[in-house]
Structure 1
Amino acid sequence: MSSTHKRGDLAIGQRLALATAARRLAEAFAGTFGAETIERFLHTSYDQFAGKAVVPHYLPLLAERFARQRLHALARVEGHHDGRPIVLFLCVHNAGRSQMALGFFEQSAGDRAVGWSGGSEFAVEVNPAAMESMAELGIDISREFPKPWTDEIVRAADVVVTMGCGDACPVYPGKRYLNWELDDPAGKSVEDIRPIRDEIEHRVRRLLADLEIPASRTPGIEAQ
């Protein structure tokens, strides 16, 4: 196995949960990827979170969710896609700006586009104040989780939006990049985050218009 952990090092509950996750992923990607690829992506995804887990019980679920996204990205890179544009939002911790941008993007684009997010030094949890500020507009980002980016995720994206990750952000020739200069909401109150949130909504709406994706009306402010 290419991952840094070994099956024997995991508690039996973790091993069973990962085995169940592998079966679900195998069903989802039947005919696209074999068991070896799926297991490799699942276990390397597990390793990404193992060092930061606050609640180890949830590690297999996080690994499955992240592996599913990575496998979708790999399928896209290999030519299996449905034509919908993919936008990747990147910041430092994937706990504030990129999560809020993803929330607005998914709310507005619906099933007409795909949105992902990631961080260069991903945090343990999404910023609670950022979650509260988004909830004020009826957008729930509490089910999201900070995550890194991987090669296949960046390669699969049509547009990469960077927000403060500087030189750590991945650069691939020929890919479309947008750099959004936005204050970092880390350590800020909900009141202080609101202007950042509203600016992110404006920018997401402009991006959707540029991609010629009709934006659904959201409970937030209207685009200027």
Structure 2
Amino acid sequence: MSQTSTQTIPVAFMCVQNAGRSQMSTAFAERERKQRGLENAVEIVTGGTHPAAHVHKIVVEVMDEEGFDLSGRTPQAITTDELESCDYVATMGCSTLELDTSADVDVRDWALADPDGQDLDQVREIRDDIEQRVVALFDEIEADLE
């Protein structure tokens, strides 16, 4: 999946509600993109198939512990066409979307537990797992760019 320096690599983080796992993934991806100087190389897309009205409060709380303010974010819808235009798609374990297998999309199902209704410690574990997965994905993307 080698890219030229003039192309961006679209990366999507999606789930059903876009109110928990995909929001955490997006926040970590934005940090990784900035820390690695990839602002012009990586486009981050996020959304859900049935977006919630707001980001889960417990997700806002555990991300705030790590210095991320998700309180102003609003879950968004995402379409199959948007996902099929991405180079990488990370689903959170709850996707019902069927992507066209002929599309050149690297789909990762992270199979993460839903943070909604969990206690703080469980949500922290999910958050930390997501952070590690996002860092590993950006390690791959960065290697692709070399």
TM-score range, shorter chain: 0.7 to 0.9
| Rg larger in structure | 1
> Relative contact order: is structure 1 or structure 2 higher (C-alpha 8 Å, sep ≥ 6)?
2
> 1:173-220: per-residue Cα shift (whole Å, max 9, x none)?
23211110111001123332000000000000000001116xxxxxxx
Amino acid of the residue matched to residue 95 of structure 1? A
Contact 1:86/1:114 (CA < 8 Å) preserved in 2? yes
1:91 and 2:11 aligned: no
What TM-score do you get using the length of structure 2 for normalisation? Answer: 0.82
Distance 1:180 1:155 in 2: 18
1:172 and 2:96 aligned: no
2:46 to 117, 121, 133: 117
Aligned length: 132
Distance 1:206 1:135 in 2: 22
Measure how far apart 1:151 and its partner are: 4.0
1:181 and 2:105 aligned: no
Aligned to 2:3: none
Which has the higher mean CA deviation after the structures are superposed, 139-148 or 119-128?
Answer: 139-148
Identical positions, percent: 35
Distance 2:64 2:43 in 1: 21
Measure how far apart 1:129 and its partner are: 0.7
Greater share of residues in strand: 2
Distance 1:170 1:162 in 2: 11
2:29 to 105, 123, 134: 105
| Helix, strand or coil at the partner of 1:115 | strand
What TM-score do you get using the length of structure 1 for normalisation? Answer: 0.55
Contact 1:107/1:139 (CA < 8 Å) preserved in 2? no
1:147 and 2:76 aligned: yes
Gaps of 5+ in 2: 1-5
Distance 2:127 2:77 in 1: 22
| Helix, strand or coil at the partner of 2:13 | strand
Contact 1:89/1:102 (CA < 8 Å) preserved in 2? yes
Measure how far apart 1:158 and its partner are: 1.1
